[in-house]
Chains A and B, each alone.
Chain A
Amino acid sequence: MDFFPLYLTIKVSFFATVLAIGAGLLLAWVMAKREFWGKGLLDVVIMQPLVIPPTVLGYYLLALFGRSGWLGSLLDSLGVEIVFTWKGAVLAAFVSSLPLFVKPARAALEGVGSDLENAARLLGKTEWQVIRTITLPLAWRGLLAGAVMAFARATGEFGATLMVAGNIPGVTQTLPIAIYDAVQAGDSSSANVLVLIITLFSFSVLFVAGKIGRQRL
């Protein structure tokens, strides 16, 4: 039994989630607290990975990050290779899990009414103090629930990962891809173990996310 896919999936999902939280917090913040031209369009773009076929998403990423793509050639000149490496898997997982973080994060930040933040400003607090003492303490449940959902989505990423990172055993073969491989090869005992692992994980994630989301002061 090869546990590399499990290890790789955890590693990829971890980095993808970290990226999703970083970029997602910024996006969620802007969407929740600012009004600007093209906000609706930005929302549509961020939410795309939820509805677009993963293979199409993978195709876009390939076009963008492949050696001839404009981001890919830029990174290539810096000596960074994305396509067909584990970083490609991170990229695919990051983009597909981003909306799952942004949606609840935005709702959580919007949930902290502007009156509360203004009340803190009126009491002499700087923007950073307002974020630290009012916004984050009131929104962290939503943010954490979003992070958990994003992590779960990252572990299950299949289509886009296959397009961008390929299926190289021991290099880019993540758990969902390993399951597909095992089934194709008729190795049902490996498939069963991997399926069980991912099922248990998904169940506990939704359970935990539900708990976090429900608890209120």
Chain B
Amino acid sequence: MLEISLKKKLKGFEVGVELRLEEELLVLFGPSGAGKTMILKMISGIAAPDEGRVVSGGEVLFDSAKGVDLPVRKRKVGYLFQDYALFPHMTVEENIAYGIEGPKGTAVKKVAELLSLMRLTGLEKRYPHELSGGQKQRTALARTLAAEPGVLLLDEPFSALDYQVREKLRADLLNIHRLYPITTVLVTHDLEEAFMLGRKIAVINNGSIEQSGTREDVFYRPRTRNVARFMGVRNIFAGIVSGLEDSSVLIDTPDIGVIKAPRPQSGALTAGQEVSFCIRPEEILVIRPDRVLGKVQDNILECGITGAIGKGSTHILYLETGQGRTPLKVELPNFVVRKLELAVGRRVKVSLKRENIWVIA
């Protein structure tokens, strides 16, 4: 269990966060320079907060009100640095054994165990400069786990790795977390990584938490336009409430006309009020030209394709309804783009299904 409440003034902005997590993995997600690393440094004691409290597993590590400030070495915090900070003058096994306390026999056994868990067997006599990026990262993680930390802090642990290695090591990390269910905070600015690793995600912007919750909450139900933007929801529109129904709200937008969206459960909406809503680019449906529109469908828009960008296995299409200036972005698998012959200059019908729309209150 980890409970933090920290404040620190930095150049240009202030970090102020409150978090509480059990033996789980929390992803701190946010743009570069949002203060994510500073939060980890304050938890570990490397950086001093101006005020606040850090409690790990019932033990108070820091409490400005009571004057408690445990030295770094007594905090039992495991920290994986972005560039791993392996000791260059020690071999892999010396690095891993460095933080182990107790008799030599247990240390040897523990090192052997971690070597095999981290797929480092055979590399024990190598020096850090003789290792690949992935091996360095695994050595650093093994060294951290060897000291049996109460909390694990991971600072952009995959940012220095190739794409393929990254995929593999992310899966490894989840496995290791299942084996060693330590309270873990992982910092990243990579959306894919945040989604893959964090059941819980806290979105940091300008030093404070804009939203925290389950990944589905944050991903599909952003509370602010910023969170929506960071989460890759590329269609965010502003409009005016033009009608209210039991479970729906009609929003009149200058860009794509009147849109029917689900009525938010919290927060009373009144007609004439300004609201924003969003829909993820991959949640917009393209309607085949030959399809008969049976039941009444909401939010069908007829658009012209004004741009198309390939993104590997998918395409992003830019659609304009001819009304406003903000285009609608739709992400489609390449095969759909090919099959429907969607190209710049052609027209297409899309549906913004009501349940795929999220109103930002």
Seen from chain A, the residues whose Cβ lies within 8 Å of a Cβ on chain B are: 113, 115-116, 118-126, 133-134, 137-138, 217
Q: Which residue of B lies closest to A216 (CB)?
A: B88
Which residues in A have their C-beta under 8 angstroms from that of B127?
A: 217
Q: Quick check: B81 and A115 within 8 Å, CB to CB? A: yes
A6 CB, min distance to chain B CBs, angstroms: 38
Q: Quick check: A126 and B88 within 8 Å, CB to CB? A: no
Q: Which listed residue, A116, A125, A138, touches B73 by the CB 8 Å rule?
A: A125
With A and B bound together, what is the CA distance between A116 and B74 in angstroms?
17
Which residues in B have their C-beta under 8 angstroms from that of A113?
A: 85
A133 CB, min distance to chain B CBs, angstroms: 8
- Judged by DSSP, the binding face of A is helix
Contact (A217, B98) CB under 8 Å given A119-B79, A119-B87, A126-B73: no
Seen from chain B, the residues whose Cβ lies within 8 Å of a Cβ on chain A are: 44, 46, 71-79, 81, 83, 85, 87-89, 98-99, 101, 127, 129, 143-144, 147
Q: Quick check: A138 and B79 within 8 Å, CB to CB? A: no
B39 CB, min distance to chain A CBs, angstroms: 16
With A and B bound together, what is the CA distance between A116 and B90 in angstroms?
12
With A and B bound together, what is the CA distance between A138 and B87 in angstroms?
9
Q: Quick check: A123 and B143 within 8 Å, CB to CB? A: yes
Contact (A123, B89) CB under 8 Å given A115-B81, A118-B72: no
Q: Which residue of B lies closest to A118 (CB)?
A: B46
A155 CB, min distance to chain B CBs, angstroms: 32
Which residues in A have their C-beta under 8 angstroms from that of B44?
A: 118, 122
Q: Quick check: B81 and A121 within 8 Å, CB to CB? A: no
Q: Quick check: A123 and B147 within 8 Å, CB to CB? A: yes
Q: Quick check: B88 and A122 within 8 Å, CB to CB? A: no
With A and B bound together, what is the CA distance between A137 and B77 in angstroms?
25
Q: Quick check: B99 and A123 within 8 Å, CB to CB? A: yes
Apart from A118-B72, A119-B81, A124-B147, list 8 A-B contacts with CB within 8 A: A116-B85, A118-B44, A119-B87, A123-B98, A123-B143, A124-B101, A134-B87, A217-B89
Q: Which listed residue, A120, A122, A134, A217, touches B78 by the CB 8 Å rule?
A: A122
